[in-house]
Amino acid sequence: MKTLRLALIGFGNVGQGFAQILIEHGSRLAVQYGVQFKIVAVADLQKGSVADAAGLDPQLLLQAAAGGDFKSLPEALQRDWAALDMIAHVQAEVLLELAFTDLQTGEPAYSHVKAALQKGMHVVTTNKGPVALHYAELSALAQAHGVQFAGEGTVMSGTPTVRLGQDVLRAAGIRQLEGILNGTTNYILTQMESGLSYAAALAQAQALGYAEADPAGDVEGHDAAGKVVILANLLLGVPLRMADVSCQGITGITSEMVADAQLAGERWKLVGRLQVQPDGSVQASVQPQRLPLSHPLANISGATNALAYTTDLVGTVTVSGPGAGRLPTGFAILSDLLAIARIA
């Protein structure tokens, strides 16, 4: 039985989802894959930091987190570590960087990832910041230290778009990627087709927890643009920057435009697109677009996400699935970890 020791930065929704997976599926995974995962340290900005070289009980971590912080855990587990302290002190094969996303600077995740890679730890992240803004540097650093830098959960949560592209479809010669990469905007557009105004649909998305109180990151297209940059880096090997993405959100879409499209047998979708040009460069955009119902993305409704890969050898392959969620994002981490276990 192989053991991978894990150090976590951040124990919010995603970290808790992953802990729940270890509790409910750990024994099955040990049998199926011959590997067990042991959480040996957690550092969370709000909840504090705890560590145990023998392994922290995920169930106890979840109970403590439900109470608000780790203070209820035994004294012997308590640490006074900021995230970078934890990376410096912990003995673990993998860092899970699950802190909040900042698409302006990538910090503090960027510094965390860098420190862990320099220490020779594999890094798995669900944080778009470091992958969208610093992928070329960080993947070179990973390679120099003989470790993996993996981010399946940065795009479409656990729907395995990154792995499918990297492990399989890249060999088919990817010409274009087109995706519905943001569930909030897709939910809003879907609700507008049932007759809701933009404002009412947005309010509903906020009530359901899909959209933030300040919805700009979603509705202006920035979140989708971050994912477009990540896909360019991970699947096309082209180091795009956020500024390279021509980006337009859905705030200008009116009920009339939605109704017009419906009459024409079409649908408005916020489409993230990467097109490989004849010279090998890549054109990147996020923009609302009227798609005919025959388009593989036209029938993706609600909070579902989808990515269509157009390739030289196998034509168009489309993958759809959840774009967010506690367990799906936890599963994204698991699938990166299983890939690391295969080579570790």
Q: Which positions touch its own copies (CB under 8 A)?
A: 21, 25, 28-29, 32-33, 157-160, 163-164, 167-173, 293-294, 296, 298-299, 301, 312-322, 325, 327-328, 330-331, 334-335, 338
Residue holding tokens 């698991």?
Answer: 334
Classify residue 168 by its DSSP letter. Answer: I
Measured from the CB atom, the residue of 10 and 323 that comes closer to its own copies is 323
In degrees to the nearest 10, what's the CA dihedral of 53, 58, 64, 70? 20
- Minimum distance of its own copies from residue 159's CB (angstroms): 5
- Minimum distance of its own copies from residue 88's CB (angstroms): 31
Q: Which amino acid is at 13?
A: N
Please indicate whether residue 227 is annotated as part of the active site: yes
Classify residue 280 by its DSSP letter. Answer: S
Measured from the CB atom, the residue of 191 and 285 that comes closer to its own copies is 191
Measured from the CB atom, the residue of 90 and 238 that comes closer to its own copies is 238
Which of 10, 9, 6 minimizes the C-alpha distance to 22?
Answer: 6
How far is C-alpha 285 from the geometric centre of its chain's CA atoms? Answer: 19
- Minimum distance of its own copies from residue 328's CB (angstroms): 5
Measured from the CB atom, the residue of 89 and 326 that comes closer to its own copies is 326
Say how far apart CA 313 and CA 242 lie, in whole Å: 30
Measured from the CB atom, the residue of 101 and 159 that comes closer to its own copies is 159
Say how far apart CA 220 and CA 223 lie, in whole Å: 8
Query: Which of 47, 114, 227, 269 does the annotation list as catalytic?
Result: 227
- Minimum distance of its own copies from residue 149's CB (angstroms): 18
All residues at 6 or more sequence positions from 237 whose CB lies less than 8 Å from its CB, including other chains: none
User: What is the torsional sign of CA 330, 150, 94, 37?
Assistant: positive
Give SS3 for 336.
helix
- Minimum distance of its own copies from residue 235's CB (angstroms): 12
Angle, alpha carbons 140-143-149 (nearest 5°): 85
Measured from the CB atom, the residue of 112 and 163 that comes closer to its own copies is 163
Say how far apart CA 256 and CA 317 lie, in whole Å: 32
Please report how many Cα atoms fall inside a 13 Å half-sphere around the Cα of residue 333, on the Cβ side: 32
Say how far apart CA 313 and CA 170 lie, in whole Å: 10
Q: Which amino acid is at 199?
A: A
Q: Which residues are designated catalytic?
A: 227
